[in-house]
Amino acid sequence: MKSNELDWANLSFGYVPTDVNVRCTFRDGQWGPIEETASEHINLHMAATALHYGQEIFEGLKAFRGKDGKIRIFRLEENAKRIIESAKGLMMEPVPAEIFCEMVKRVVKANERFIPPYGSGASLYIRPLEIGISARVGVKPSSEYTFIVFVSPVGPYFKEGFKPTNICVMREFDRVAPKGTGRWKVGGNYAASIAAGEKAHSLGYSAVLYLDPREKKYLDECGPANFFAIKDGKYITPASDSILPSITNKSFMQLARDMGLEVEERHIPIEELDYVSEAAACGTAAVASPVAEVDDLDTGKKYIIAKDGKPGPVTTELYNRLRAIQLGETEDIHGWNTIL
Ligand SMILES: *Cc1c(COP(=O)(O)O)cnc(C)c1O
């Protein structure tokens, strides 16, 4: 596809082929050279551990074309650190942060013509992934790994824009186990969430708000996104060892403090939703997606959060501040951007 044929303003959140992706393989105890390829395929052994025992981890981050025309990658080092934790969790070989950062910068530069223009609302989504490639039949970690970074220009996650949607709670499915892999960015967690997600979508909900898998009393996270709420002028977000530490959430916590809000990371019982003034899911894809209503499918209880159907003022301010940093419209006081 030619980048000048792309309709930036109407891109969806989907895969668009670009010019190249970058790869690096760990073999014989060391990471090899970084390779660029135009191929969209991987030549993989059919007994690779990624295919049978789920040795697959990934990341998701974005690059933006700023107001000044410069390219900014948001929180690159944080993503580099997080994939190391995910690798350790599944006994995979961690990709050194320098290699991670180098490869992300290289793939963004090589696909510069696919970075959507400033003002389009679109961005360049960056997807790093690591897989175990050794042939194994017995359950054992791989000794060889491939790390790939590809990019795809994406539009806003929700076509409707920054508008509250309804989400639901159900106790029929858990995404992760209490001492399981929830704190790592693992493909298997998503496999475990597909049935619940499809059920929620078929009932008209944008996502499932999971409860903690041990007691089913506290809020955990919102499918592929973290959850936060505003209560009595405080930013509250679940503390849980079964959720993925979202970098967007971490950024919002900092911005909330900058705005003079108190931040509480703690257990949030589901009943507390009766007392919150705003709520949202947050993650790289949508940044923040405000919640209108949380419906508990098992009890029939409905928690109405956005009473006028509009995003709340604090969520809107947080969203605008984060976007302004990503787009270079405001000073990056926390040093979150890597400028290429
Ligand atoms: C990626 C992800 C998030 C969001 O994390 P960000 O770093 O903000 O993009 C939240 N929950 C899960 C389960 C995820 O995989």
Residues identified as active-site: 185
If 0-12 CB within 10 Å is exposed, 13-18 middle and 19+ buried, where does residue 26 land?
Answer: buried
Residue nearest to atom 14 of ligand 1 (CA): 224
How far is CA 124 from its chain centroid? 14
CB 248 within 8 A of CB 322: yes
Quick one: which atom of ligand 1 is closest to the CA of 250? 8
Q: How far is the CA of 4 from the centre of ligand 1 (A)?
A: 31
**Which pLDDT score, from 0 to 100, does residue 3 have?**
61
**Of 50, 216, 204, the residue nearest 133 (C-alpha):** 50
Question: Which pTM value belongs to this model?
Answer: 0.96
- Predicted confidence at residue 2, as pLDDT, reads 60
Ligand 1 pocket check for 185: Cβ under 6 Å: yes
Q: Is the CB of 193 under 6 A from ligand 1?
A: no
Distance 247 CA to ligand 1 centre (A): 7
CA–centroid distance, residue 84 to ligand 1 (Å): 15
What's the gap in Å between 284 CA and the centre of ligand 1? Answer: 7
Assess whether the C-beta atom of 246 lies below 6 angstroms from ligand 1. yes
237 close to ligand 1 (CB < 6 Angstrom): no
How far, in Å, CA of 147 to CA of 255, rounded? Answer: 32
Helix axes 247-258, 76-89, angle to 10 degrees: 140
Mutational test site, ligand 1, from 61, 246, 249, 336, max ligand atoms within 8 Å of CB? 246
Kindly state if the Cβ of 223 falls inside 6 Å of ligand 1.
Answer: no
Q: What CATH number was assigned to the domain covering residues 3-154? A: 3.30.470.10
Pocket test residue of 13, 185, 323 for ligand 1, highest count of atoms within 8 A of CB:
185
224 lines ligand 1 (CB under 6 A): yes
Atom number, ligand 1, closest to the C-alpha of residue 222: 11
CATH number of the structural domain 165-326: 3.20.10.10
Calpha distance 255→259 (Å, rounded):
6
C-beta of 244 in contact with ligand 1 (< 6 A): yes
Q: Is the CB of 283 under 6 A from ligand 1?
A: yes
Q: Is the CB of 187 under 6 A from ligand 1?
A: no
The domain locations on the chain are 3-154, 165-326
Dihedral sign for Cα atoms in the order 140, 143, 144, 149: positive
How many whole angstroms from 317 Cα to the centroid of ligand 1?
A: 21
User: What is the number of the ligand 1 atom nearest to the C-alpha of 221?
Assistant: 11
Atom 5 of ligand 1, residue of closest alpha carbon: 246
What pLDDT is attached to residue 41? 98
Index of the ligand 1 atom closest to the CA of residue 285: 9
- Which atom of ligand 1 lies closest to the CA of 284? 9
User: HSE (CB half, 13 Å, CA atoms) of 90?
Assistant: 32
- Chain centroid to CA 178: 21
d(CA 145, CA 107): 19
Residue type at 98 in one-letter notation: E
Q: What are phi and psi of 100, to 5 degrees?
A: -55, -50
Q: What is the reported pLDDT for 47?
A: 97
At 7, list the tokens. 């309709």
Please give the chain's pLDDT, 340 residues, in tens. Answer: 566 668 888 888 889 999 999 999 999 999 999 999 999 999 999 999 999 999 999 999 999 999 999 999 999 999 999 999 999 999 999 999 999 999 999 999 999 999 999 999 999 999 999 999 999 999 999 999 999 999 999 987 766 678 999 999 999 999 999 999 999 999 999 999 999 999 999 999 999 999 999 999 999 999 899 999 999 999 999 999 999 999 999 999 999 999 999 999 999 999 999 999 999 999 999 999 999 999 999 999 999 999 898 999 999 999 999 999 999 999 999 999 999 9
